């Protein structure tokens, strides 16, 4: 990913927030004699990491079907995990000035490292944490323990892993190179009733402007 200082995210907690709020990730491996292998899966910030889920050391926890893990030869080599935050098309019309061309605003993080395969007990903990992560948004969360016997049975076909980040690159391209009034005009356009409306992206643009 092209590194541009104006768009670079370096705050570890901001990167963790991106992962926590956009946990559906893309796992990419290069497997010898097979080439590129790509899977999509939920990945969390590991609360039990060396910094308790905070600080400078980022640890991820995830799971995927054992057959997919075998395709990746998970644990045998380094991988990249990609997290995609809010993103969307930006029309030049919204700037209300020229010259401008269409662009795409986005927030993304790439986490590099070598996964560590977990045993059955820790894998089940990752499954439980994953369910809790998404269910906690409900007033009455559903818990995996409600189907404990069934869940343990199908968990045998799942591979859990943790990954301590060896390198993280994160980028928020949110019109930081535009004047403040232009940013607000574009953000306003993203909240109107039109084909490319994206209120979450508008919020990210406004938040980024406040952080500058």
Edge to edge, the sheet with strand 103-113 lists 116-117, 158-164, 59-65, 35-45, 24-31, 79-90, 103-113, 167-173
Full-model pTM: 0.93
Beta-carbon contacts of residue 16 (< 8 Å; ≥ 6 apart)? 45, 53, 54, 58
pLDDT per residue of the chain (212 residues) written in tens, 0 to 9: 888 899 999 999 999 999 999 999 999 999 998 899 999 999 999 976 555 566 679 999 999 999 999 999 999 999 999 999 999 999 999 999 989 999 999 999 999 999 999 999 999 999 999 999 999 999 999 999 999 999 999 999 999 999 999 999 999 999 999 999 999 999 999 999 999 999 999 999 999 888 77
Question: Residue 2: its pLDDT value, please?
Answer: 85
Distances (CA, A) of 154 to 66, 69, 130, 148, 182: 11, 15, 15, 10, 52
């Amino acid at each position: 990913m092209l590194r541009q200082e104006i768009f670079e995210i370096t705050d570890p907690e901001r990167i963790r927030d991106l992962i926590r709020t956009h946990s559906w990730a893309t796992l990419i491996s290069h497997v010898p004699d097979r080439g590129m292998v790509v899977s999509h899966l939920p990945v969390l910030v590991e609360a039990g990491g060396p910094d308790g889920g905070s600080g400078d050391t980022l640890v991820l926890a995830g799971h995927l079907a054992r057959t997919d893990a075998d395709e990746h030869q998970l644990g045998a080599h380094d991988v990249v995990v990609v997290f995609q935050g809010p993103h969307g098309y930006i029309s030049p019309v919204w700037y209300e000035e020229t010259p401008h061309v269409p662009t795409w605003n986005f927030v993304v993080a790439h986490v590099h490292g070598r996964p560590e395969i977990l045993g059955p007990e820790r894998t089940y903990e990752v499954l439980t944490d994953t369910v809790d992560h998404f269910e906690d948004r409900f007033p009455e969360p559903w818990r995996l323990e409600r189907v404990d016997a069934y869940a343990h049975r199908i968990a045998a076909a799942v591979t859990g892993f943790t990954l301590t980040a060896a390198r993280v690159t994160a980028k928020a391209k949110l019109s930081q190179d535009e004047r403040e009034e232009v940013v607000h005009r574009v953000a306003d356009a993203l909240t109107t009733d039109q084909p490319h409306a994206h209120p979450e992206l508008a919020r990210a643009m406004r938040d980024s402007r406040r952080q500058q």
